[in-house]
Amino acid sequence: LADIRPMQIQEFYNSFGLTASKSYMDKMRVMVNALFLEAVENGLCDKNPTRRLKAPRIPEKPREAYTVEEVKRILNYAMSCDNSRIATAVMLLLLTGLRRGELLGLQWGDISKHTLTVNRSVFLENCIPTVIEHQAKTAASLRTIPLLPELEYRIQALPSTRTGTLWHPRNFSRDYDRFFQQLREAEPSVRCLPPHSCRHTFATLALYSGSDIRVVQRLLGHTDIKTTSRYTHPDMSAMAQAVYG
């Protein structure tokens, strides 16, 4: 460790950044910095060679969102889908903006009087779905949001889900992909976007309908409003309405 020079780490950062995402690059920087801080603390090297290094600039990959028409088609299909569990889950993602882990961590006691409370989030630990009560991505993630009465009714009507067994993220992803594969057989024009795109869709449509961005920030559980601003994806019709009124 004492022989490693800043130039060598910078070369590693530059090489790693060629294929890594921005978030992955940020995590790598934090990990390497923590490693050398610990090394200095334990007398393994005199200085932290990462102190003044900069990560290569990596543009964040643009996220996609469903259009209003696609949302209508998805919801209509979900209403008649045989697998009510995944259908209700997709509706929740689109109509509440929940993260996948927050959705998988929901319990019956979190639904009350047309509200939904995020009290936890599922994460994988040694490939096992795990939750810690009152712990989620950030402190702002623990929140209570309005829930449409129709959606609340569909949740309460779900069969055989009161066993307490967590929905494994891999099983959820499998059911989610199958839902959209079957949907596209009936509606080929509807794209199959990742679950997180449903969250972007919720934010985009909420702002498009006139909601204040700070309200959307609270609904999504974002700590920083700048994060919320990256969740908006106005389409051409929205931009035309802004121009023509």
Q: How far is Cα 183 from Cα 150, in angstroms, rounded to an integer?
A: 21
Which contiguous run of DSSP H or E holds residue 116? strand 115-117
Over residues 148-196, the pLDDT tens digits come to 999 999 998 887 645 556 788 999 999 999 999 999 999 999 999 999 9
Integer Cα distance of 101 and 196 in angstroms: 10
| Token duo for residue 29 | 């920087």
Select the more confidently predicted residue: 165 or 21.
21
In Å, how far are 2, 5, 114, 139 from 43, measured between CA atoms?
Answer: 10, 16, 57, 35
Are 17 and 55 in contact by the 8 Å Cβ rule? The answer is yes
Q: d(Cα 33, Cα 39) in Å, to the nearest integer?
A: 10
Two tokens, residue 47? 């200085």
Q: What's the confidence (pLDDT) of residue 208?
A: 85
- In the chain, helix, strand, coil percent, each to 5? 55, 5, 40
> Strands 128-130, 111-112: parallel, antiparallel or unpaired by DSSP?
unpaired
H-type alpha helices, 114-157 = 149-156
Tokens for 190?
Answer: 């509807």
∠ CA 15-34-27, nearest 5°, is 50
As a whole number of angstroms, the distance between CA 32 and CA 38 comes to 10
Give the 3-state secondary structure of residue 118: coil
Confidence of residue 237 (pLDDT cuts 50, 70, 90): low
Least confident of 59-63, 82-86, 225-229: 59-63
Tens-digit pLDDT profile for residues 42-68: 999 999 999 889 888 877 677 789 999
